A and B are shown apart, each in its own frame.
Chain A
Amino acid sequence: MSLIGKGILKGMGVTAKNFFQSYYRKERLPTVEYPEEKATINQFSRNFPFLLYDGDDPVDGMRCTACTLCERACPPQCIYIIKDKDENGKAILSPRIFDIDTSVCMSCQLCVEVCPYEAIRMDSAFELSNENRFEGLLLNREELLKPNAYYHEIHPLEARETDDRMAAKAALAEAKKKARQKRARLAAKNKPPPGLKKTPPTRKKPPQREKSE
């Protein structure tokens, strides 16, 4: 035989415990009073992309080569890139304009996945409210560029990984270069008659940019 209403009393006991313990136990009141204090952001949190640069000067140390892979990968098409040109009209491997419209961005991180130069990464800054909802949320190259140190600060684990990967790549490239030089030196020593050996030129695929434009 059970007392009628026992379950209700039990439930009320639970809520009473929550009520009273919220006054003296920290885990019963986990709310962070936002503008005065801020919760520590998890290093795996992400919202909008930013551009990385090495060294001190943002524009010189920019990792981005304006390959527009991210522009093509972006599902809501919020990235806009125009390649830079030198005085002779020849293309330089860096963007003159790199805009990201954060009001359109859906934080999918696909741009980060496709980038072969580790130049674009996800930011975790969240206080992005702005008085102008059109231009204010459209971030340009200067606003997007942030140093590698900042990346280390917000995503330490990921940044270390990226650095290691870049170092490995650089080492590999160095080794390849050395090997090629060595081979060239060897070839020069053996002195084959010029024009005797025909090496077929490595076929390059035509760039697929035309299709997207």
Chain B
Amino acid sequence: MNNYFDLKLVELGRWIEAFFAHYPTLKLVVHLLLCTLPLALSFMGAFAFTTWLERKGLARIQNRPGPNRVGLFGLLQPIADGIKMLLKEDIVPERSDKLFHFLAPIMLMIPAMIGVGFLPLGDGLHALPLDSAIIFFFAISSLNTIAVFMAGWSSRNKYSLLGGMRAVAQMISYEIPLVLSAVAVIMMAGSLNAQEVVASQQISSWVGSGNILQEFFGRILGWNVFKPWGFAGFIFFFIAALAEANRSPFDLPEADSEIIAGHLTEYSGFKYAILFMGEYISAFAIAGIGVTLFLGGWNGPVFAGLPWFVLKLFSLFAVMIWIRGTLPRLRVDQLMGYAWKFLFPLAILNIFLAGFYHFLERQWGTAIAMLAGWLFGFGALQLAAIALSRLNQSPTIRSKRVYQLVE
């Protein structure tokens, strides 16, 4: 049963390509289309579904039913929204930079879509199977910042510019803990190749042994989250990913109660829809790389491959929505301080912890490394976290505060 869906999909692709066997140029074009078009379409579909999921989830958290008018359970709501967006007037501010105002949504969509291409969705389902896919992913995802800046600057609106500035500062800061927490995984897998990182997350001696139990757990227990450094790294990665994707509680660039909608303020109609979609798809891409690096990629028992990847991706996104329903927004200074004074040192410490674990595993085997890693390594991380939070506390005000206008 393993990899069944992926094999069938690859087979389907080959079958379609076989029709154009006599025309090499056409075959190449069809091959490229088969690599990109289903990916783009399915992620756009996933975007539509996620807006529904988000609205429903947030509604239930706030004790409301959420959209339930269009279609069954409101499932057709995204389509209605899309039609509405298409029919709306596209307003461009009079004194805006018209060219950049037009280019910004496109510039946001391009890196998001390329980033999605680097994800290994399943066995053999990999649009851009580069040898250095993971570092390429991080390089491409840093381009989001430029698009957001473009949108903010070209609108010639103070709120837009503020949003753009916040976005740039935030995305630069959080990229560092994001990449550093991924470094531990790359170090342990010994490769920048996404497929190899995924392959490193199964217990190779158990998979293919024939024993049903070993088959089953060999594809779960090898995930990086179940290792001490992986667990800590996953938490750091997830926090940084929330900030990179501008998701709550780090949604300062589009904080609607403070700066209207940040860089989205002056956008309307279809351009707004494209910007919105670009943001969601880059959030998908970051969640997808999180799944690849820490949650075992497409590894999983019984239905290994695409179904597991999709399941993990949507679960991770559901957690993002859950967090959005729970946590209030951070302040700007808190945000920057958190990245630089807390996440950054901890992520570096985690790299050392991973090295320590690797050494122990080599020397005395997995069981002892696990034990020592969870006890000492994780304890060290906890201690460091507590020490950092003590250090970072703003100095207590010793003198009694005097209110001069009172009395």
Chain B residues within CB distance 8 Å of chain A: 57, 60-65, 322-323, 325-327, 382, 385-386, 389
Contact = CB atoms under 8 A, between A and B. Distances in A.
Contacts of B63: 18, 22, 28-31
B361 to A, nearest CB: 26
15 contacts: A8-B327, A11-B326, A12-B323, A14-B326, A15-B61, A15-B322, A18-B61, A19-B322, A22-B60, A23-B60, A28-B63, A29-B63, A29-B65, A31-B64, A33-B65
Of the candidates A3, A12, A19, A22, the one having the most CB atoms from chain B within 10 angstroms of its own CB is A19
A153 B385 CA distance: 65
A69 B93 CA distance: 53
Contacts of B60: 18-19, 22-23
A3 B382 CA distance: 8
The 6 nearest A-B residue pairs measured at CB: A15-B326, A4-B385, A19-B60, A15-B61, A22-B60, A11-B326
A187 interface: no
Give the dominant DSSP class at B's interface: helix
Interface string A15-58: 11011001100001111010000000000000000000000000
B319 to A, nearest CB: 9
A1 interface: yes
A135 to B, nearest CB: 31
Given A8-B326, A12-B323, 8 more contacts: A4-B389, A12-B326, A14-B326, A22-B63, A23-B60, A29-B63, A29-B64, A31-B64
A30 B382 CA distance: 42
Contacts of B57: 19
B325 A15 contact: yes
B370 to A, nearest CB: 21
Most chain A CB within a 10 A radius of its CB, from B57, B60, B62: B60
Contacts of B385: 4
Contacts of A29: 63-65
A22 B63 CA distance: 6
Contact of B65 (A12, A18, A19, A31): A31
A57 B63 CA distance: 48
Contacts of B382: 3-4
Contacts of A22: 60, 63
A43 B64 CA distance: 25
A31 B389 CA distance: 42
A82 B160 CA distance: 56
Nearest to A22: B60
A71 to B, nearest CB: 43
Contacts of B61: 15, 18-19
Nearest to A8: B327
A36 to B, nearest CB: 11
Contacts of A8: 326-327
Contacts of A19: 57, 60-61, 322, 325
A18 B386 contact: no
A18 B57 CA distance: 10
Contacts of B389: 4
A4 B325 CA distance: 20
A16 B62 CA distance: 10
B322 A16 contact: yes
Contacts of B325: 15, 19
A123 B57 CA distance: 38
A3 to B, nearest CB: 8
B62 A18 contact: yes
Given A4-B385, A19-B57, A11 B64 contact: no
A1 B65 contact: no
Contacts of A30: 63
A16 B61 CA distance: 7
A53 B34 CA distance: 77
A1 B64 contact: no
Contacts of B62: 18
A12 B322 contact: yes
Contact of B327 (A3, A11, A23, A28): A11
B116 to A, nearest CB: 28
A124 B62 CA distance: 28
A28 B323 CA distance: 19
Nearest to B62: A18
Nearest to B328: A11
A31 B382 CA distance: 43
Contacts of A16: 322
A22 B57 CA distance: 11
Contacts of A4: 382, 385-386, 389
A9 B219 CA distance: 28
Nearest to A27: B63
Most chain A beta-carbon neighbours within 10 Å: one of B57, B61, B386: B61
